[in-house]
Chains A and B, each alone.
Chain A
Amino acid sequence: MSRALGRIEARFSGQLGDFTLDAELNTPAAGVTVLFGPSGCGKTTLLRCVAGLERLPGRLVVEGEVWQDEVRFLPAHQRPVGYVFQEASLLAHLSVRRNLLFGFQRTRDEQRITLDQVVDLLGLDHLLERGVARLSGGERQRVAIGRALLSQPRLLLMDEPLASLDRARKAEVLPYLERLHSDLAIPILYVTHDPAETARLGDRQITLSEGRTGPVIDTRDEAQGARLAARLAEVGPERLFEDLCATGVPPELAQLTLAALLAGLPPWRISDGGR
């Protein structure tokens, strides 16, 4: 089992209503793994299966610990995950402070992350005593992120945390997510359909399409990035896109590569990702 330490291994296949998920995930339990794909491709369902909010036949091992297999199914409240929903979903009867502390007070793990730390990291100082009804969309989402962090998760699950926000609010929350990434050593599974978010936050990416997962893609390969950037400068984006597709890169991936290159970010390497 020692090989499994430090990895998240998941395999779910089954029917949910008239949707079929056939997903496999094998990724290091470190940094940000982006689950990418169009809406309805099953990325939220996959995330909910990992959290234990949905139950499909399969197997889930997180850092050597079995959360689900043929006989076992750890209920959601016993899994050390933090979950950030698309809509902040704050508990309406509690203040910001009591929302933040809801999971903190219930965790049995060592409390490494403190309220002060989260308040500082997410800029929540002036909001603590407010009721949640009086928060803006961006503030609500920051509280939701802080609340998830304070439950001392060993794995943070984020389901399009920026999708319900307008452009200005997105720009407000995104820097906090980047700080999360650099300041805390919690592995994150991050669901999005936005290439720009993947480019800014992702360390690797798994694309889903109609309930099926593709290979793991490393998104921070500097050497290949430099090579592609030079090629982009030489032939322009349309030609590079065609070239990439001609070498067997899926179109959505080629598009992402270009988005990252144009944003000046280290782009994408296609790998078998430990499959």
Chain B
Amino acid sequence: MGEIIWLTVKLAGITTVLLLILATPVAWWLARSQAWWKEIVGAVVALPIVLPPTVLGFYLLLALGPDSPLMAPLQPFGIRTLAFTFEGLVIGSIIYSLPFAVQPIRNAFQAIGERPFEVAATLRASPMDAFFSVALPLARPGFLVAAILTFAHTIGEFGVVLMIGGGIPGETEVLSIEIYRLVEALEWDRAHQLAGLLLVFAFAVMLSLLLIERRTGRLRP
């Protein structure tokens, strides 16, 4: 039981950190670009919101499987497949939660407006300098929302994890899979414990999001 919770938290933690790093440049580009085709990219990024997790999981299974051309570059390192591995689960979680990280950060960048960057430029800050000294700190509430949503969303995912993880104990067996397995095995008491735990966790997440929103007053995920 402890191992399952640890694995779940580890998956969510690693996913959150990697996704924030990955989502920041994407959100920045989506917030600032004038390109007419940027909403096409925006739609691709948002796709996991409306796509059934099983569909996403199915394609990921193909992409990370031994016959996938995407896996070919990893062959020399002795990696044939990432399906049914923890690493594969991280990749799946990152893609699945991408919109939940990109959207709040993009909104936060957009809410800053043009003026602080003009101010920074007239105070000798190069665009790169202004990104780190002005954009990132001013968008902090957006990053907080993105981190919380990504973490919670990864804890709760089921479909993708089932498709590409398969529920191997110690490797890919996470909380939501375990609850499903317990119910199947009619172990209602233990299912109750885990389900209750996730319910309390979900409530804490929503409460903290609402409190952040009340404090900043303008950001919506």
A interface residues with partner B (beta carbon < 8 Å): 51-53, 75-79, 81-83, 85, 87, 89, 91-93, 102-103, 106-108, 147-148, 151, 157
Contacts and interface: CB of A to CB of B under 8 A. Distances in A.
27 contacts: A53-B122, A76-B118, A76-B121, A77-B122, A77-B123, A77-B126, A79-B122, A81-B122, A83-B118, A83-B119, A83-B122, A91-B116, A92-B116, A93-B134, A102-B120, A102-B125, A102-B133, A103-B123, A106-B124, A106-B129, A107-B124, A108-B124, A147-B123, A148-B122, A148-B123, A151-B122, A157-B122
B112 to A, nearest CB: 9
Contacts of A93: 134, 137-138, 140
Nearest to B126: A77
Interface of B: 115-116, 118-127, 129, 133-134, 137-138, 140
A65 to B, nearest CB: 16
Nearest to A54: B118
Contacts of B126: 77
Contacts of B134: 91, 93
Given A76-B118, A89-B115, A91-B116, A102 B123 contact: yes
A91 B119 contact: yes
A147 B134 CA distance: 15
Nearest to B119: A89
A186 B124 CA distance: 18
A106 B123 CA distance: 7
Contact of B123 (A53, A92, A151, A157): A151
Contacts of B118: 53, 76, 83, 85, 89
A151 B120 CA distance: 11
Contacts of A83: 118-119, 122
A82 B124 CA distance: 9
B119 A92 contact: no
Contacts of B138: 91-93
A158 B134 CA distance: 22
Contacts of B122: 51, 53, 76-77, 79, 81-83, 103, 148, 151, 157
Contacts of A106: 123-125, 129
Contacts of A92: 116, 138
B124 A77 contact: yes
A198 B175 CA distance: 71
Contacts, number: 64
Contacts of A82: 122
Contacts of B133: 102
A272 B133 CA distance: 46
A89 B116 contact: yes
Contacts of A91: 116, 119-120, 134, 138
A75 B121 contact: yes
Contacts of A52: 121
A151 B116 contact: no
B189 to A, nearest CB: 49
Given A77-B123, A103-B122, A148-B122, 5 more contacts: A53-B118, A77-B127, A77-B129, A83-B119, A103-B124
Contacts of B119: 83, 85, 89, 91
B119 to A, nearest CB: 5
Contacts of A151: 122-124
A102 B120 CA distance: 8
- Which 3 pairs show the lowest CB-CB distances between chains A and B? A103-B123, A83-B122, A76-B121
A236 B126 CA distance: 56
Nearest to A92: B138
Nearest to B115: A89
A158 to B, nearest CB: 12
Contacts of A107: 124
Contacts of A102: 120, 123, 125, 133
Contacts of A87: 115
A157 B129 CA distance: 22
A78 B120 CA distance: 11
Given A91-B134, A93-B138, A77 B115 contact: no
B121 A77 contact: yes
Nearest to B136: A93
Most buried by A among B116, B124, B137: B124
A157 B118 CA distance: 13
